Homo-oligomer: A and B are copies of this chain.
Amino acid sequence: MEGTNDYSYRPGAIMTNNVDIRSSSLFSVLDDAQIKRVMQSSHMLNLADRQSLFECGDEADRFYLVTKGQIKLFRLSVNGDEKTIDIIQPGNTFAEALMFMEQPTYPVSATALGKVQLISFDNAQFLNLLRGNFDLCFRMMGSLCQRLRGLVKEIDDLTLQSATTRMCAMLVNHMEREGESEFPLQAPKGVLASRLSMKPETFSRILQNLANEGIIEVKGQNVGVLDECRLKESAHPESVIGLEPEFNCNHQMPFHQR
């Protein structure tokens, strides 16, 4: 499970599995000597599908960069309900915020979605690096700030938006990231459901509704957006502010509609 830092090191791009480490914003401001130093305390890891990386509450002395596959971050409730907090994509780091805590423990559990390859970094090492590099500090603070904004948005979504709205917002994100109106969902539907804080049954029904409305079409894992305009309206209800009620596109989607 735990390998060594056996990837090639050379000045310039540091490639591991087609992911340039420098493309991660945290590492982009490091010079070659610094990268080398971080690398020396790093390990490459391979995880099988569903393999656990750490559990909520574990001591947190390392952080991670995903180079291949996806990592699911989640929390469990007493009765075994699972809430997926985030799905980390290749090229992104996670758990690095914890290095600033006194007695850091992971606030979430992490498991592999499919086969995953990642690199782990030693918190103490990285803290040393931070202590001599203001650019890096600012990078880090910027990244923490963005994550904060993301979570605030998330809370907004959970409290002020409906399940359908969240679904549409996700589909719009997906579409814009892919640049195509047809794309595969990047995780099993059950996982996406949990990410959107709904049950798989609800997820399925909402997709069905959107398809019945002619807004999307669904074939297995593939989604095609047929009516981008209506999808975006459903995703961002604020876009119709200012219109008179009778002029609103009022695309009601009763839950149990067939």
Contact = CB atoms under 8 A, between A and B. Distances in A.
A97 B159 contact: no
B142 A101 contact: yes
Residue among A148, A151, A159, A197 facing the most chain B CB atoms (10 A cut-off): A159
Interface stretch (A74-82, A110-118, A175-183): A74-82
Interface stretch (A13-21, A32-40, A130-138): A130-138
A122 to B, nearest CB: 17
A236 B77 CA distance: 10
A91 interface: no
DSSP class of A's interface residues: helix, strand, loop or mixed? helix
Interface string A20-56: 0000000000000000000000000000000000000
A187 interface: no
Number of copies: 2
A108 interface: yes
Nearest to A142: B100
A149 B131 CA distance: 23
A160 B107 contact: no
Contacts of A76: 160
A185 interface: no
Given A77-B237, A138-B100, A160-B75, A107 B145 contact: no
Contact of A148 (B137, B147, B158): B147
A85 interface: yes
Nearest to A198: B159
Contacts of A146: 101
Nearest to A104: B145
A124 interface: no
A144 interface: yes
B152 A155 contact: no
Interface of A: 75-78, 81, 83, 85, 97-98, 100-101, 107-108, 130-132, 134, 137-138, 140-142, 144-149, 151-156, 158-161, 197, 237-238, 240-241
